[in-house]
Amino acid sequence: MTTLTATTVSPREARTPAPTIDIAGVDWPLYKLQAVLIGIMAAVLVGALTQSGELTAWTLALGTSAAWWIRRSAHARRTRA
């Protein structure tokens, strides 16, 4: 039986880690915390203005997801450049 072993560096390992913040002994990437805070602020604002639970939930989900991916891709672009 022949075994081929090759070592490669994947693009994932070559990236620099995202800046982190320590919360209760766990390092959280900064872009994740920013996304969660943006989502909560948007939900509170929409909830206060519309009094609609459904619209508030959609705003929280969409705002958090959008902020998460935008901040994550911005960090990835900075580390590649």
pLDDT tens sequence across 29-65: 888 899 999 999 999 999 999 999 999 999 999 999 9
Amino acid at 27: D
3/71: higher pLDDT: 71
Query: What pLDDT is attached to residue 60?
Result: 93
C-alpha neighbours within 13 Å on the C-beta side of residue 30: 9
